[in-house]
Amino acid sequence: MPRNQFERMMFALFTVIITVHAYVFYSLYVINSNMLTEMTGEYYPYQYMDFNLFTLLANWLKLVCYHFPFAFFSQLFFIQPLIRIVFKLVFRRNEVPKSS
């Protein structure tokens, strides 16, 4: 685990890089489930309709319900163990065993 400021910054950078890419790809899959590689340009569905705050909040809550399980379990079981392994490989320490 990180022991100084530089190692903490690198640990955070590794985590952000992996996490952002995972969440963006998952979000694209949820929004465009059958068109993962094709962007449609219809990300904001209220361009030509009357703005309704309750519809906006309902859609936001629906997206939170879709994204939270993926975000929680991927962070807990996939991303953090992967980052710890990568961090241990990058920042190896030469620890001398202590004699009794």
For 14-37, the pLDDT digits (tens) are 999 999 998 888 887 776 665 544
Do residues 36 and 28 make contact, with C-beta atoms less than 8 angstroms apart?
yes
Contacts of 70-77 with C-beta under 8 Å, sequence gap 24+, read 70/23, 70/26, 71/23, 74/22, 74/26, 75/19
| Res 78 pLDDT > 80 | yes
For 34-74, the pLDDT digits (tens) are 554 455 455 555 555 666 788 878 888 888 888 899 899 99
Contacts of 68 (CB under 8 A, 6+ apart): none
- The predicted structure's pLDDT at residue 37: 47
Q: Where are the domains of the chain?
A: 5-90
Q: pLDDT confidence of 12, banded at 50, 70, 90?
A: very high
